[in-house]
Amino acid sequence: MYAAVVVNTPLDRAFTYKIPPDLMESLECGNLVNVSFNNRRIVGCVVGLLKDFDGSDPDSLKSIDGIASESYRIDEELLNLSRFVADYYVCSSGEALSAMAVTGFRDVRLRTPVLYSPLLESEGEALTRRQQEVFQKLRQGGTAPATKSALAQLAGCSSGLIDKLIEKKVLVQTEREPVHTLRKPSGPHALEPNPEQSNALKAILETVDRKIFGAYLLHGVTGSGKTEVYLQAMASVLARGQTALCLVPEIALTPQTVERFERRFGEEIGVFHSQQSRTAKLALYHRIRSGEIRIVIGARSAVFAPLPDIGLIVVDEEHDGSYKQGETPRYHARDIAILRAQQAGIPVVLGSATPSLESYTNALEGKYTLLKLSARAANVGMPDVRVIDLAHDLIDRSGDVSLSEPLVAAIRKRLERKEQSLLFLNRRGFSNFLFCPSCKWVAKCEEDDIAMTVHRKSRRATGQPRDSGLDLFDAQDRPDEFGLKCHFCGRREPYPACCPSCQRTDLLTVGSGTQRIEEELASRFPDARLLRLDYDTTSGRDAWIRAWNQMASGEADIIIGTQMIAKGLHLEKVTLVGVILADVGLFLPDFRAEERTFSLLTQVAGRAGRTGAGDVYFQTWMPNHPAIRCATRHDYEAYYAEESRRRRQSGFPPFSRLTAITISDTDSEKAFQAARLLASLLRRLSNSSPEQLRINGPRLAPIARLGGRTRYRILLRGQRPRAAGNLVRKVLKDSDWSASASTRIAVDVDALDLL
């Protein structure tokens, strides 16, 4: 007996191994096994069992060394799906499967988690004040044993602090069975659906009952009750004895969203997120397989969650770019969700206030059923958006945008009323770039052809009042306090005393970032409690959850952040949303730049006045730009009409399928030669095939150098979904194609990121 095994390499084929006698009976497709491959011991997946070996010399074959993971096996549905993913996204089955498996291709063992609970007898006298606070908070939560990370989350503190409490013996290891940290269903149950919600629910549930595939696009303005529709549809699916999956963008996995699900479904929900350990994912896997978890909510990779008898898939914020994986396999979780629903014969619901052009077009063409929620559900209107035309308003001394007077006045009013303001600027750091006005030098990263961002070094604890009055200074006044940082590779450089090419000292920092706005706020409102949320202050899920708790509990008066704060937040006290510069991102060299801007602005504006009246201010240089004009009016249809006309004219998606190939090498010449050869082979083969493909390039990618590699780009556009992928695969397998070992080719089918 032989086994066909795939491993995580770009080679798209299975390798044959002998099955050792002790595994003859037990080995199954989907088992992860240890094998030696190119003299390395690695983990692969069994994809076939063969009686005979049709190669010449079966004795030369190696044996499988053993089963790598006793506690995990890839099921048949996932095996089938991996073949599709590999085929469609032009990668090997091994690459696809290792990304789809809960544990990856790794030897992961199920470990029993170590649990702790707070001591009841102890008053914790020997604790510092902060430790005391956390300890009391944990005790209020009861004495249910929980893991360290769960306790840290419960108390909203660092895991270091939990360690300290364990050291001081007020948290003790417990043997008791884990009581799930999730609460039993309580709180508000299903709300009485309004007519539009009923209509949507009826359509979805009919499809559930008929056990057929159906794709629904639930288009509803922010706060229109989409989530309520998901929850009720999922509850009905559960009542029919089936399971359900809900995908959300990573950033939306805040306690708030999760809590809302927990309140409805209690312990039946399981949450997948990207920062979970493989062990934690494996534990979830078992709870799903045992039927204990019947609803999975999670980010991109949760689309592969092994739910048996799945009855419904929901993709919330379906337009969100984070559903597309940025590395091999470059799958789109929304598209995989649709495929999975097709194969299972169940409905899939895509929800958004600003659907992607792709999905809305599919709905207009009848491929999806359009379900609309046209007004906010909880009897509140859409917020008023006021446009502040920067051409007539404030510019600070270095030509940078900052806070205009009307916005400052609006923030002041909120402070007086003890309400929260949310300020949005999609640019972190102090300034966007550093520029020499005389010789035009721009500080760039050595590795990447990218301007370095100016950062303020010592991060003042937020909320601390600083010197009052408007004594803002620029970086060149105190260069020691600043540094340069590359946002792609993280490289840091000191802030230069003068221009390295012409020695002038009056360098300009251009384009305010969140740090700078934070400084301005601190000096204008010295008593206000500020909270800055961007990847510099809030990296990692725990930090994000802590920050979220701070916002929700009203510990901050003014919140300033990047797109992190644009999504999924429902903060009752936020009555003002200010967009510092709506135009950021509008002119990035990517045909979707405007669509993203429109969508982001609409989402941000939707954060205001979730429960009552709210005001929104957009500061902009371009009040008449369609993306901005339509976002101020919450008018998706108008934007769609304009944007789709443009796309149709230029032949970009959704009116074609776009595949992007990036060819990169540390040696620019090699990259160029490889790209040119590849493009000519693609053209030649395309000309001899009936498929009409438009092939552009090679051209330097907009970010021409990244990670020390020069990048060339070839774009392929056609009408048929698989045409480009098939062509690329053929050419890459062709003997005329060759490239130096240092050259990398990345094929991105249905590419979203074109920078």
445 makes contact with Zn ion (CB under 5 A): yes
Residue from 389, 393, 419, 447 binding Zn ion (CB under 5 A): 447
595 makes contact with ligand ADP (CB under 6 A): no
How far does CA 335 lie from the centroid of its chain? Answer: 15
223 makes contact with ligand ADP (CB under 6 A): yes
Looking at beta carbons only, is 160 or 490 nearer to Zn ion? 490
SS3 626: helix
560 makes contact with Zn ion (CB under 5 A): no
444 makes contact with Zn ion (CB under 5 A): no
The binder of 445, among ligand ADP, Zn ion, none, by C-beta within 5 to 8 A per type, is Zn ion
The Cα-based distances of 377 to 224, 609, 620 in angstroms read 5, 13, 30
The binder of 193, among Zn ion, ligand ADP, none, by C-beta within 5 to 8 A per type, is ligand ADP
Looking at beta carbons only, is 192 or 527 nearer to ligand ADP? 192
Q: Is 104 left (phi over 0), alpha (psi -120 to 50) or beta?
A: left
Footprint (CB under 6 A) of ligand ADP, residues 474-513:
none
Count other Cβ atoms within 10 Å, centred on residue 465: 13
21 CB-near residues (< 8 Å, 6+ apart): none
Show the tokens assigned to 503. Answer: 């020695």
Rounded Cα distance, 312 and 233, in Å: 8
Footprint (CB under 6 A) of ligand ADP, residues 372-411:
377-378
Rounded to the nearest whole angstrom, what is the least distance from the CB of residue 314 to ligand ADP in the complex? Answer: 11
Looking at beta carbons only, is 447 or 642 nearer to Zn ion? 447
DSSP state of 63: B
454 makes contact with Zn ion (CB under 5 A): no
Looking at beta carbons only, is 227 or 431 nearer to ligand ADP? 227
523 makes contact with ligand ADP (CB under 6 A): no
Residue from 94, 220, 298, 513 binding ligand ADP (CB under 6 A): 220
228 makes contact with ligand ADP (CB under 6 A): yes
Strands 709-718 and 295-298: unpaired
Rounded to the nearest whole angstrom, what is the least distance from the CB of residue 457 to Zn ion in the complex? Answer: 18
Q: Which residues pair with 36 in a beta bridge?
A: 41
Show the tokens assigned to 307. Answer: 């739910």
Looking at beta carbons only, is 183 or 466 nearer to ligand ADP? 183
The binder of 448, among Zn ion, ligand ADP, none, by C-beta within 5 to 8 A per type, is Zn ion
Task: Tell me which amino acid residue 121 is.
Answer: E
Q: Which residues pair with 748 in a beta bridge?
A: 660
Looking at beta carbons only, is 205 or 344 nearer to ligand ADP? 205
Among all chains, which residue has been given the structure tokens 């920067």? 390
Rounded to the nearest whole angstrom, what is the least distance from the CB of residue 455 to Zn ion in the complex? Answer: 14
Rounded to the nearest whole angstrom, what is the least distance from the CB of residue 198 to ligand ADP in the complex? Answer: 9
193 makes contact with ligand ADP (CB under 6 A): yes
Rounded to the nearest whole angstrom, what is the least distance from the CB of residue 573 to ligand ADP in the complex? Answer: 14
Looking at beta carbons only, is 276 or 575 nearer to ligand ADP? 575
Show the tokens assigned to 456. Answer: 């303020």
Footprint (CB under 5 A) of Zn ion, residues 484-513:
486, 488-489, 491
413 CB-near residues (< 8 Å, 6+ apart): 576
Looking at beta carbons only, is 181 or 369 nearer to ligand ADP? 369
Please say whether the beta carbons of 630 and 638 come within 8 A.
Answer: yes
Looking at beta carbons only, is 260 or 705 nearer to Zn ion? 705
Task: For residue 718, give the nearest of 662, 655, 661 by alpha carbon.
Answer: 655
**Which H/E stretch holds residue 548?**
helix 541-552
Rounded Cα distance, 633 and 643, in Å: 16
Q: How many residues bind ligand ADP (CB under 6 A)?
A: 15
The phi and psi torsions of 715 (rounded to 5 degrees) equal -110, 135
The binder of 447, among ligand ADP, Zn ion, none, by C-beta within 5 to 8 A per type, is Zn ion
Looking at beta carbons only, is 35 or 486 nearer to Zn ion? 486
Rounded to the nearest whole angstrom, what is the least distance from the CB of residue 188 to ligand ADP in the complex? Answer: 7
Residue closest to Zn ion (Cβ): 486
Rounded Cα distance, 735 and 67, in Å: 37
224 makes contact with ligand ADP (CB under 6 A): yes
Strands 508-512 and 709-718: unpaired
Rounded Cα distance, 62 and 583, in Å: 60
The Cα-based distances of 199 to 196, 218, 308, 534 in angstroms read 5, 11, 28, 39
Q: How many residues bind Zn ion (CB under 5 A)?
A: 7
Q: Which residues pair with 216 in a beta bridge?
A: 349, 369
The phi and psi torsions of 582 (rounded to 5 degrees) equal -70, -20
Rounded to the nearest whole angstrom, what is the least distance from the CB of residue 448 to Zn ion in the complex? Answer: 4
Looking at beta carbons only, is 6 or 231 nearer to ligand ADP? 231
Residue from 131, 227, 361, 537 binding ligand ADP (CB under 6 A): 227
222 makes contact with ligand ADP (CB under 6 A): yes
Give me the sheet containing 15-18, strands edge to edge: 15-18, 2-6, 40-50, 32-37, 66-67
Residues that bind ligand ADP (CB under 6 A): 191-194, 197, 220, 222-228, 377-378
Residues in contact with Zn ion by the rule CB under 5 A = 445, 447-448, 486, 488-489, 491
